[in-house]
Amino acid sequence: SSQNLSEEFAEAARQLKKEAPRIQFGKIDVTHQHDLRKEFNIQAFPTVKFFVNGSREDPIDCKGVRKASTFVTWVKRRTGPSTVLINSTDQAEAIIKADDLAVIGFFRELHSDSVEVFCETARDVPEMPFGMTASEDVGANYGIQRNSLVVFKKGKPVHNEVLEDGGQSKLDLTRLIKTFTLDLVTEYNIETSVKIFDVPVENHILLFTPTNSETFSEIYENYQSAAAEFRGKILFVLVDTNEARNGRIFEYFRIRDIDVPAVRILNLTSEAKYKMPADEVTVENLKEFCQSYLNGKAKQHLSSEEIPQDWDKMPVKVLVGKNFNSIIF
């Protein structure tokens, strides 16, 4: 809520007043400041913008930050180095063990395009600590080939992404890293829905199934296996069809009891929906569906009744989703 965010914002201002007095915090009620709202094109509330070097041109958007500690980190990484330089294994261990999640870049040298992309990514992911090292010993200690980004969860490496110059963009890496704030498969409910939308992955795949069915554990295992392969590209969500509170999602996807288990992909930007062509939820079918979607080959799923046989017998034609476009347009 706005109120909550406003309090966290104020707390961040208090903390930074001691550490970085040059950084000023202010808030504006745009209901009374129409000109400012227009000038900075404020669409959603609350919006946080960061102005650099006294210029009101092109302020930086501070998105998805909700906690005071994260605001402080975000601002510090914008005004100073965004990652900690690691020179020893002890230093690396300290960072990895301090938090649930940590991201370390292992590089051959600290001046390259991939190092730059890594540092830019760190600015956009203030929720977790970032470190980087060019030390051969530190890399060897974790058995990691250099020029890779490694995500550590609870002190153990859980993902190793090889970094090539010009290979991945800041957005690719941001998406990938932020998915680690969620489980590999996230069950949809009131609490997780906010987190799901905070991760900037716009492709969501949803498995609709009752979690108490006999086949559930097998289906779920297949779904998790596929999820590991598309991490950062498609977000895997589980919807329990026995949960009455999920009714609105079934309506949105037009899922009926006889359809489950059902698998759909949703693109959040276009709101286009896609239905998995195969009925069985196997690893093979899931991978094929995800890959064809990412390659732009999947067919959009338009919920529709079948075309009635006598749709054009009368002067007023009967239209359903399936023949609407071809007849009208």
Per residue in 260-301, pLDDT (tens digit) is 899 999 999 988 999 999 999 999 999 999 999 999 999 888
Total residues belonging to the chain: 329
For 27-81, what is each residue's pLDDT tens digit?
A: 888 888 889 999 999 888 888 999 988 899 999 998 888 899 999 999 999 999 9
Region(s) of the chain under CATH 3.40.30.10: 1-79, 84-179, 183-295
Q: What is the band of 321 on the pLDDT scale with cuts at 50, 70, 90?
A: low
For residue 46, the model assigns a pLDDT of 84
Q: What is the pTM of this model?
A: 0.82
For residue 194, the model assigns a pLDDT of 84
The yes/no answer on whether domain 84-179 falls in CATH 3.40.50.300 is no
Residue 329 has pLDDT above 60, yes or no: no
Q: What is the DSSP code (8-state) at residue 214? A: T
The yes/no answer on whether domain 183-295 falls in CATH 3.40.50.720 is no
Q: Would you give the distance in Å from CA 17 to the centre of its chain?
A: 32
Label residue 266 left, alpha or beta by phi (over 0 means left) and psi (-120 to 50 means alpha): beta
Long-range contacts of 13-21 (CB under 8 A, 24+ apart): 15/68, 15/72, 16/72, 16/75, 19/72, 20/75, 20/76, 20/79
Q: What is the band of 328 on the pLDDT scale with cuts at 50, 70, 90?
A: low
Residue 305 has pLDDT above 70, yes or no: no
What does R_g of the chain's alpha carbons equal in angstroms?
24
Nearest Cα to Cα of residue 308 among 294, 298, 321: 321
Mean pLDDT of the chain: 90
Which CATH number, 3.30.70.360, 3.40.30.10, 3.40.50.300, 3.30.110.40, labels domain 1-79?
Answer: 3.40.30.10
